[in-house]
């Protein structure tokens, strides 16, 4: 779930990076479609294997900490595909099958017709994309929107054709008394051809809470055994609701469909308002069951309902293991998301599937999402500074396992934080072993609720500013993993402050950090 902005290609990246083509084939296809569709770029397709200097383009809106209005303002004078990019979540997480840049380019070109693929952006992004596509149509200069491209059959083990891995375990990492439920999840890959590297993510196609699905079926007056058409095949309705469509986040089209099947005028009015992002505030984050119960006059047909729902998107998790340490296994660090609604407990789709509903021995559709520049230093002598509070420790467990098995001599410094040391110190025993063995040179922890004044990882960075700067001066790579809007922003601000004060960079601190990004020494995996 890497959020570093890659240098954009010379021609629009229409072909997704996970498509079953080599880099050279993908470049040729991008050039071909760019020329065919009249997009910005060379007038003809580049020859396979050719190389050209790529002009650097700055994307100031590519910052997940910015609110959408701020991002759109920064992009307002750019070409349409860049304005569309500003509506994305800016995480480059790969859940949509693209990067933010390439997803926007594919939507604008017509190569991608689904505007609901941005999971972290949710309905805000989906609605804004639809609005902008309608508004920006006038900028096509008479060139009609291309029909969505016919996609080649995906290779097995990719997003569009996941492999089946076996769930081995999902045991608790947090101790009794914690306010969290964090699990160490292990998958067996031995029956797949999947391979990965430390820094990659695992995409998981989860199944919904079966209790939620049963409640929806009860409201529809259905048994769940009814055979319905989906993707060209007949499937039981229960299976479709469990694994194929998104009922946790009903689309605007779904709300419009429900309105068309309501017999009460007030129900119709409120459903239409909800489809526009308005309507009753307590239903702003409603799932399908909430809508069906709130509007009893709605009597939907099954085919129409299923057609109106978005496809269920995969959930991506930073991989917490090195393949060198755990051959044919992949490990995750997953925090189960649960909260109390007005009338029932709500559960996160992916996290609670892995924590509560999937059982050891179950086969789960998964794929590897390759990182976009987030990985262990290639130089085994290079120092590494890793900042990963909470589940943000996941990729750094993988990094430390990788460096340990490689015998890397570079120093390693980990900043870890959570609520309480007694209950929330994830992988504490393994971290202690690394300290004793010298694999982990330094460890600084910040447990926010162990004292009256809350202490976070950025505070520990400030306390150790002199030594931290000396590591950076010695060529250290700096990594951050975790919450994009708060933690990662605070860490970056602190890093800039240290550069200004300890490194004498002053107002040039930002330029210094940009240089660190370009050199690959500042990398983020944020969400």
- Where in the chain are the domains? 23-140, 163-206+314-369, 210-308, 384-526
How many angstroms separate the CA atoms of 34 and 448, rounded? 51
* DSSP secondary structure letters along 47-91: PTT---PPPP---TT--TTS-HHHHHHHHTTS-HHHHHHHTS-S-
CA 186 to chain centroid: 20
pLDDT: is 27 or 51 the higher one?
27
Q: What integer is the mean pLDDT of 144-165?
A: 76
What's residue 53's pLDDT?
42
pLDDT tens per residue across span 96-106: 878 899 999 99
CATH number of 210-308: 1.20.990.10
For residue 7, the model assigns a pLDDT of 34
For range 255-263, the mean pLDDT: 96
What is the mean pLDDT of the segment spanning 6-21?
A: 48
Q: Which residues contact 425 (CB under 8 A, 6 or more apart)?
A: 416, 418, 431, 445, 447
Specify whether the CB–CB gap between 103 and 118 falls below 8 A: yes
Q: What is the DSSP letter of 333?
A: E
| Cα angle value 344/348/351 (rounded, 5°) | 135
CATH 3.40.50.80 fits 384-526, yes or no: yes
Name the pLDDT band for 41 (thresholds 50, 70, 90): very low
Name the band, by pLDDT with cuts 50, 70 and 90, for residue 29.
low
Q: What is the pLDDT of residues 341-373, one digit of tens each?
A: 878 889 999 999 999 999 999 999 999 999 878
Average of per-residue pLDDT values in the chain: 88
pLDDT of residue 286: 92
Question: Which tops the pLDDT comparison, 278 or 388?
Answer: 388
Coil, strand or helix at 443: strand
> For residue 331, is pLDDT > 90?
yes
Q: What is the pLDDT of residue 16?
A: 57
Encode pLDDT of 501-519 as tens digits.
999 999 999 999 999 999 9
With 80 as the cut, is the pLDDT of residue 147 above it?
Answer: no
pLDDT tens digits for range 55-108: 568 898 998 888 899 999 999 889 999 999 999 988 888 778 788 999 999 998
> In which residue are the tokens 């959930």 written?
315
Distance CA 349, CA 81 (A): 31
Mean pLDDT of 152-172: 90
pLDDT band at 121 (very low <50, low <70, confident <90, very high): confident
Tens-place pLDDT, residues 183-214: 999 999 999 999 999 999 999 999 999 999 99
The residues, ordered by sequence, that sit 6+ positions from 239 with a Cβ below 8 Å of its Cβ are: none
Contact 388, 482 (CB under 8 A): yes
- 423-476 pLDDT, tens digit each: 999 999 999 999 999 999 999 999 999 999 999 999 999 999 999 999 999 999
Asked if the domains 210-308 and 384-526 are classified in one and the same CATH topology, the answer is no
Task: Give the rounded percent of residues in the chain with a pLDDT score beyond 70.
Answer: 87
User: Domain 163-206+314-369 carries which CATH code?
Assistant: 2.40.30.10
């Amino acid at each position: 779930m890497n959020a570093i902005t890659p240098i954009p290609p010379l021609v629009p990246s229409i072909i997704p990076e996970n498509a079953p083509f080599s880099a050279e084939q993908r470049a040729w296809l991008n050039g071909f479609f760019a020329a065919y569709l009249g997009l910005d770029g060379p007038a003809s397709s580049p020859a396979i294997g050719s190389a050209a200097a790529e002009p650097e383009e700055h994307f100031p809106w590519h910052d997940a900490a910015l609110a959408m209005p701020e991002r759109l303002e920064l992009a307002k004078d750019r070409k349409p595909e860049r304005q569309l990019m500003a509506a994305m979540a800016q995480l480059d997480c790969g859940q949509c099958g693209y990067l933010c840049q390439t997803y926007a380019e594919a939507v604008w070109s017509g190569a991608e017709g689904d505007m609901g693929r941005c999971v972290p952006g949710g309905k805000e992004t989906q609605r804004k994309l639809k609005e902008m596509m309608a508004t920006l149509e006038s900028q096509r200069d008479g060139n009609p929107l291309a029909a969505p491209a016919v996609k080649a059959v995906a290779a097995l083990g990719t997003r569009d054709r996941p492999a089946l891995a076996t769930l081995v375990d999902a045991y608790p990492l947090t101790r009794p008394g914690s306010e969290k439920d964090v699990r160490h999840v292990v998958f067996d890959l031995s029956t797949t051809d999947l391979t990965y590297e430390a820094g990659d993510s695992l995409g998981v196609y989860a199944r919904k809470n079966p209790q939620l699905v049963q409640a929806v079926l009860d409201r529809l007056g259905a048994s769940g055994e009814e055979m319905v058409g989906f993707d060209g095949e007949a499937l039981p309705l229960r299976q479709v609701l469990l694994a194929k469509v998104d009922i946790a986040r009903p689309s605007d089209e779904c709300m419009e469909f429900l309105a068309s099947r309501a017999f009460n005028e007030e129900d119709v009015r409120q459903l239409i308002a909800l489809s526009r992002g308005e309507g009753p505030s307590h239903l702003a984050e409603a799932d399908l069951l909430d809508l069906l119960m709130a509007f009893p006059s709605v009597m939907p047909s099954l085919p129409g309902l299923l057609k109106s729902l978005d496809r269920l998107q995969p959930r991506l998790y930073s991989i917490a293991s090195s393949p060198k340490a755990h051959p044919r296994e992949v490990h995750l660090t997953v925090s189960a998301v649960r909260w109390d609604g007005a009338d029932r407990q709500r559960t996160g789709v992916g996290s609670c599937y892995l924590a509560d509903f999937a059982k050891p021995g179950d086969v789960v559709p998964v794929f590897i999402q390759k990182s976009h520049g987030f990985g262990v230093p290639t130089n085994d002598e290079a120092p590494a500074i890793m900042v990963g509070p909470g589940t943000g420790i996941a990729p750094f467990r993988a990094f430390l396992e990788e460096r340990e098995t490689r015998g890397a001599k570079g120093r390693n410094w980990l900043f870890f934080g959570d609520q309480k040391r007694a209950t929330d110190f994830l992988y504490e025993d393994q971290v202690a072993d690394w300290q004793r063995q010298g694999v982990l040179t330094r460890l600084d922890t910040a447990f926010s609720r162990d004292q009256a004044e809350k202490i976070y990882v950025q505070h520990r960075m400030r306390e150790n500013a002199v030594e931290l700067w000396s590591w950076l001066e010695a060529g250290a790579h700096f990594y951050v993993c975790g919450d994009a809007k708060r933690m990662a922003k605070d860490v970056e601000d602190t890093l800039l402050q240290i550069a200004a004060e300890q490194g004498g960079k002053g107002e040039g601190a930002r330029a210094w950090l940009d240089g660190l990004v370009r050199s690959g020494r500042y990398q983020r995996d944020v969400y």
